[in-house]
Structure 1
Amino acid sequence: MSSPCDPQHAPAGDVGAALMMIDSRLKSVYDGRATADPEQQQLTDQFTASLGPQGARDLIDGACTLIYMFMRWLQLAHESQDKDVIEYVVPSLVASLRQMPKSVRPEAIPTMAGLVVAAGTGLSPSLWRRQYGDWTASEMNALEATALLLAEHINRITGDRDFAIRLISEALSGSTQD
């Protein structure tokens, strides 16, 4: 039986823009900066301000698509070693989000854990979240942080700082060729 949260029913959103934002944040982290450089932050702020309501929804859906794709990759990697992705990924994600009190509000953490569990069980994070109402402002930083932490987790597993971004970029370029 098909779920109303099945990924085939979900909007992909603006995956390219979401990927660009996560890539920028990863580079900041790897360069040892706690925050993006001011020029990069200004460009990001200008970009998000120019989106409008539909563009913002597309960016959010794009971030959810990234979370789904990252969790799908992590699921395959963990299953190849007879491990449960939820058991190994969610606790460390929640612990990391809790260590970010200036960026991630505590009330957003259960929602992010739910998004990741939804993705880890084959459901669309955006459709799963939609059933609980509109996104809140306090969830926006948490959503970005969740996608960032999953990408960084993949990079750590592979020993390649660009692996997660390249994984999605290659999937996107492959989908445009089909």
Structure 2
Amino acid sequence: MSSPCDPEYAPVGDVGAALMMIDSQLRALYDSKTEADPEQQRMVEQFAATLGPRGIDEVLDGACTIIYMFMKWLRLACEDHDKDVIEYVVPSQVATMRMMPRTFRPETIPTMVGLLVAAATGLSPNLWRAQYGRWTEAELNPLEATAVLLAERINRISDDRDFATRLITEALSKSERG
């Protein structure tokens, strides 16, 4: 039986813009900066300001698409090692989220976990979230951070700092060609 949260019904969104924001955060993380580069942060904020409400919704959908793709990759990697992706990914993600109270207010953690579980079970994270109403402003930063944490985990597993970004970029290239 098909679910209304099936990925085939989900808008893909602006995956390129979402990936740019995620990659920017990863680069700051890998450069061991304690704070984001102010110039880089200003450019991201200027970019976000030009999007308008419709553009922001597109980037949110794009971030959810990326989370879905990352969780699919992690699910396949876990299956290759007879592991359950939810058991392998979610507890450590929650532990990391709890260590970051300025980024993940306690009330946003269940939503981010729901996104991960939805994606891990083959559901669209954005359609799963949409059934509870519009995104709140308090959820925007945690959504981006959730995608960044997944990307960093994939990079660590693959021992390649650019693997997660390349994974999405290659998928985008293939979808444009075919």
TM-score by length of 1: 0.99
Q: How many residue pairs get matched?
A: 178
Aligned-pair identity in percent equals: 68
Aligned residue type for 1:21? M
Q: Deviations over 1:131-154 (max 9, x none)?
A: 011111111111001000000000
Ranges in structure 2 where 5+ consecutive residues have no aligned partner: none
The aligned counterpart of 2:165 is 165
* Off by >3 Å, runs of 4+ in structure 1: none
The aligned counterpart of 1:34 is 34
Cα distance in 1 between the residues matched to 2:80 and 2:135: 35
The aligned counterpart of 2:123 is 123
Cα distance in 2 between the residues matched to 1:149 and 1:49: 24
The aligned counterpart of 2:154 is 154
1:102 aligns with 2:127: no
Aligned residue type for 1:84? D
Indicate the SS of the match to 1:123.
Answer: coil
Aligned residue type for 1:41? Q
Cα distance in 1 between the residues matched to 2:114 and 2:35: 26
Aligned residue type for 1:30? Y
Aligned residue type for 2:102? K
Aligned residue type for 1:91? P
1:138-149 superposed matches below 5 A: 138-149=138-149
1:67 aligns with 2:67: yes
The aligned counterpart of 2:85 is 85
Q: Deviations over 1:56-85 (max 9, x none)?
A: 000000000000000000000000000000
Ranges in structure 1 where 5+ consecutive residues have no aligned partner: none
Note the C-alpha offset of 1:35: 2.6
TM-score by length of 2: 0.99
The CA RMSD measured in Å over matched residues stands at: 0.6
Cα distance in 2 between the residues matched to 1:117 and 1:169: 24
Q: Deviations over 1:32-56 (max 9, x none)?
A: 0133201100000000011001000
Indicate the SS of the match to 2:54.
Answer: helix
Aligned residue type for 1:98? R
Note the C-alpha offset of 1:121: 0.0
The aligned counterpart of 1:135 is 135
Cα distance in 1 between the residues matched to 2:8 and 2:169: 20
Note the C-alpha offset of 1:102: 1.3
Cα distance in 1 between the residues matched to 2:103 and 2:113: 16
